[in-house]
Amino acid sequence: MNSNVHIPDDLLARYVAGETTPDETRQVKAWLSLSAGREEELLRFQKIWEAAESIKPVAEVDVDAAWKKVSGRFTAQPSTQAVNDSEVAAQNPLPFTIHKNDGDIRPLRSGKSPSNFRFWRAAASILIVMGLGWFGYRFFEKANEPAIANVLKTQQKTTEQTLPDGTKVFLNHNTTLSYADDFGQDTRTVMLKGEAYFDVKRDENHPFIIKANGTKVKVLGTSFNVRAYDQKVNVAVTSGKVQFSTPKAKTLLVKDETATAQADTIIKLPAVDLNAMAYRTKVFVFDKTNLGDVVASLREGYQTDIQLSGRLKNCQLTARFERESLDATLSVIAETLHLQVTRKGQTILLDGQGCP
């Protein structure tokens, strides 16, 4: 077995119910030993099971009646394409097959005893009841979430806003920040899609929490940047410390540290790239930086389409630009590296002879 082993839900259901064979029990325990996170997954499965058992009254599941009902639907609308039983069995993982000729739906019998068939009926009942419990749990969980009543949104321009608690937030372009009316009562929770720099007002009794694409950033009072335009989320800390977490990982970041989360994994990076926050500061610092990286930073900082000729990829730049206009910045770069700046509509092209 390896770390990517998948275990069937019905096996977990029987394990939680205490109905596994000794071999199946060993299989589940071996699966659990491969990753610490799998114990949490089993615990969630246990909670779903307990929630399902607590539903009163629990309606008895009549699988035979369900099959008859489904059979009637297929009989009323027969398929025009003949499919033999072996083809259906290969494509259909459920314990029944559809016979197109007579419209009947019958359990698969090949290699399976009647007792095994009864097990599948019991497993189906278990999974249906667990499904009801899961949907009930999610319904009440959603009902307890605060309704979003306040939304800050940018498109092509950046903006700075002050939240009700005194926290200052600077939103990059194409960014949405939302929070509920009860913001600050128990916690100070906001939802972020895009990129923003936070200067959080310290409050020991009310943690500040940012939810972004399945991650959570929790602080008491500090300043940091969060970039979450897609599934990859980056956090860069400029003062204080923050707790950065996913459902399966967690790390603590302090001043000048940064980390990226993707697919439940958090990776710490060597240092904060201050140029990545130039959309707010308009300060760019380059030290023997490849021109491709320079252009990428300017493109993000000025929200402008800047393209670079391929022959310039070996050029390097050492310079500092502080609150300069884009035209002034490009003029200095062009003069330093003997480049030409050409505008074509909304696109700016940097070209030249290249660098040794």
Q: In the listed set 221, 241, 272, which residue is the last one of a domain according to the structure? A: 272
Residue 65 has pLDDT above 70, yes or no: no
Helix, strand, coil shares of the chain, percent, nearest 5, are 35, 30, 35
Q: Are 20 and 11 in contact (CB under 8 A)?
A: yes
In a domain? residue 58: no
Same domain, 283 and 338: yes
pLDDT tens digits for 216-271? Answer: 999 988 999 999 998 899 999 999 999 999 999 999 999 999 999 988 899 998 77
CATH code of residue 161: 2.60.120.1440
In a domain? residue 31: yes
| Residue scoring higher pLDDT (317 or 7) | 317
35 pLDDT band, cuts 50/70/90, is low
Q: What is the mean pLDDT of residues 332-346?
A: 92
In a domain? residue 287: yes
Same domain, 175 and 244: yes
CATH code of residue 299: 3.55.50.30
Q: How far apart are CA 353 and CA 308, in angstroms?
A: 12
Q: What is the mean pLDDT of residues 301-329?
A: 91
Q: Which domain holds residue 259?
A: 148-272
Closest by Cα among 234, 295, 224, 281 to 261? 234
Residue 167 has pLDDT above 90, yes or no: yes
Q: How far apart are CA 99 and CA 96, in angstroms?
A: 10
Same domain, 118 and 101: yes
**Least confident interval from 159-163, 296-300, 312-316, 346-350:** 312-316
Closest by Cα among 273, 172, 146, 285 to 229? 172
Q: How far apart are CA 260 and CA 248, in angstroms?
A: 14
Same domain, 156 and 247: yes
Q: What is the mean pLDDT of residues 311-333?
A: 92
Residue 76 has pLDDT above 70, yes or no: no
The interaxial angle of helices 9-16 and 37-53, nearest 10 deg, is 70
Same domain, 138 and 74: yes
Residues 6+ away with beta carbon under 8 Å from 174: 154, 155, 156, 194, 229
pLDDT tens digits for 81-127? Answer: 444 444 444 444 443 333 434 443 333 333 444 444 445 455 555 55
Same domain, 223 and 191: yes
> For 263, which DSSP code?
T
203 pLDDT band, cuts 50/70/90, is very high
So what's the pLDDT on residue 123?
A: 52
Residue 150 has pLDDT above 50, yes or no: yes
40 pLDDT band, cuts 50/70/90, is low
Same domain, 231 and 159: yes
Q: Are 341 and 349 in contact (CB under 8 A)?
A: yes
- Render 145-156 in DSSP notation, one character per residue: SPPEEEEEE-SS
In a domain? residue 139: yes
| Residue scoring higher pLDDT (65 or 156) | 156
So what's the pLDDT on residue 53?
A: 54
| Residue scoring higher pLDDT (133 or 23) | 23
Q: In the listed set 239, 272, 305, which residue is the last one of a domain according to the structure? A: 272
Same domain, 166 and 267: yes
- Whole-number mean pLDDT of the chain? 76
So what's the pLDDT on residue 270?
A: 75
In a domain? residue 340: yes
Overall number of domains in the chain: 4
In a domain? residue 101: yes
Same domain, 265 and 155: yes
Q: How far is CA 238 from each of CA 88, 98, 193, 256, rounded to the nearest angstrom? A: 59, 63, 21, 5
So what's the pLDDT on residue 50?
A: 60
| Residue scoring higher pLDDT (139 or 24) | 24
pLDDT tens digits for 285-306? Answer: 999 999 999 999 999 999 999 9
Residue 46 has pLDDT above 90, yes or no: no
Same domain, 281 and 199: no
Same domain, 265 and 156: yes
In a domain? residue 2: no
Same domain, 20 and 82: no
Residue 163 has pLDDT above 80, yes or no: yes
In a domain? residue 4: no
